[in-house]
Homo-oligomer: A and B are copies of this chain.
Amino acid sequence: ESVKKQEINDPSDPYAAEPTRHPALQINNLKPFNAEPPPSMLSDSYITPSAIFFKRNHLPVPKVDPESYRLEIEGLPGGVASLTLKELKSCFPKHTITATLQCAGNRRSEMNKVKQVKGLNWGIAAISNATWSGARLRDVLHYYGFGPEVASGAQHVQFEGLDKDVTGTPYGASIPLNKAMSDEGDVLLAYEMNGEDLPLDHGFPVRVVVPGVVGARNVKWLGKIVVSSEESKSHWQQNDYKGFSPGTDWDTVDFKSAPAIQELPIQSAITHPAEGTSVNLSDEEVTVKGYAWSGGGREVVRVDISIDGGNTWHVAKLRTSDDGVPPAVGRAWAWKLWEINIPLPQKPQELEIVCKAVDNSYNTQPDTVAPIWNLRGVLSNAWHRVKIKVSDDLSD
């Protein structure tokens, strides 16, 4: 039904020209389009196919003509620079990284169960992993005159999308200058996703990919870059995508008191089995699968799994990449998929399966949701818990 609505072509609807989407996606909001894949599909492949990669749009998808597309750059010597797509592709070395993107609201639905929050009710699949190719942001900024003089006055790099609200205000965000310019930061002006032109939903023709950093700063349909002494003034940078104490409510919240989310904390979740699954005693073991990832290029070094609600723990087997090559130090941009077979107890019962990950700074996930609850429902990274039933073949 939702899909049918898309097909009605009302020219006054800013969403009339949205791309068609994969039917497996679970739609959280149609306009703007927000959807996630079924968890089981997520852990089926180390690289998430673009069609089922989670989609988080804040505004209508803009139609951009690649021929007339210009990327503007402000805040460097010599005024405003303007770059064609062809120039971006041909004048700078093409760099490819594998990076996981995660929405700040991933797993928000678990916070909603504690107490209502404001935001789309994401499950555990507002996270996906892809390869991204493009020019390095630092190469482009150096080419246009970035140097010590600019560095001394600047602290942020702002991004503006070509997607706009009804008043003409574009989506916007910024990242710290040191992330943008670091040799090891791997920030890309990406024009390819999984070896093909960026799909419309993922920012065609150019998206900034900021690995290790919350999805919201990975601005799609990138129209403008501004090197600045200030953060982006956008709503999404200033008055959204920030974390607060569980005691802070909409009457008391002061958005200036918290930093904009950049790097995300350690995260993991169980993609298999699904909540409510029944397994048979005669199976003797249960296979548990999931993903784990941490922000800031911190590598996941261990995932602990429990089938007794967190009393005893087993260590899962991690899958680092398709080729098994470990990430460079400080540049673990991609998730790890994990898997483990755990012996079943010998009597019918309900099991609570739990996972928690550890990164190479030895940060770990908090046990429960309530103490990290926040009014926007972001940063939901408590232990993931899935209840299943072990039943006796005979008694079934």
Residues of A whose CB lies within 8 Å of any CB of B are 155, 176, 178, 184, 243, 245-248, 258-259, 261-266, 295-296, 301-302, 304, 310, 312-315, 329-330, 356, 358, 360-368, 371-372, 379
User: Least Cβ distance of A238 to chain B in Å?
Assistant: 16
Extra A-B contacts (18), CB below 8 Å, given A245-B314, A259-B360, A367-B371: A155-B329, A243-B358, A245-B315, A246-B312, A247-B312, A247-B314, A247-B315, A258-B302, A259-B301, A261-B362, A263-B360, A263-B361, A263-B362, A264-B362, A265-B363, A365-B366, A366-B367, A367-B368
Q: What residues on B are CB-neighbors of A315 within 8 Å?
A: 245, 247-248
The oligomer's copy count stands at 2
Q: What residues on B are CB-neighbors of A368 within 8 Å?
A: 367
User: Least Cβ distance of A211 to chain B in Å?
Assistant: 14
When C-beta atoms are compared, the residue in chain B nearest to A306 turns out to be B371
Q: What residues on B are CB-neighbors of A261 within 8 Å?
A: 362
In contact, A247 and B313 (Cβ under 8 angstroms): yes
In contact, B371 and A313 (Cβ under 8 angstroms): yes
User: Least Cβ distance of A268 to chain B in Å?
Assistant: 13
Contact partner of A310 (CB less than 8 A), chosen from B295, B362, B371, is B371
Q: What residues on B are CB-neighbors of A248 within 8 Å?
A: 315
Q: What residues on B are CB-neighbors of A362 within 8 Å?
A: 243, 261, 263-265, 379
Q: What residues on B are CB-neighbors of A314 within 8 Å?
A: 245, 247
Q: What residues on B are CB-neighbors of A330 within 8 Å?
A: 176, 178
Inter-chain CA distance A278–B379, complex, in Å, is: 37
In contact, B304 and A245 (Cβ under 8 angstroms): yes
Inter-chain CA distance A130–B304, complex, in Å, is: 36
In contact, A361 and B295 (Cβ under 8 angstroms): yes
Q: What residues on B are CB-neighbors of A263 within 8 Å?
A: 360-362
When C-beta atoms are compared, the residue in chain B nearest to A372 turns out to be B364
Q: A178-B184, A371-B356, A379-B362 are in contact. Are A313 and B265 (CB under 8 A)?
A: no
User: Least Cβ distance of A46 to chain B in Å?
Assistant: 22
User: Least Cβ distance of A149 to chain B in Å?
Assistant: 17
Q: What residues on B are CB-neighbors of A364 within 8 Å?
A: 265, 366, 372
Q: What residues on B are CB-neighbors of A247 within 8 Å?
A: 304, 312-315
When C-beta atoms are compared, the residue in chain B nearest to A243 turns out to be B362
- Across the A-B interface, give the 5 residue pairs with the lowest CB-CB distance, nearest first: A367-B367, A263-B361, A265-B363, A363-B363, A247-B313
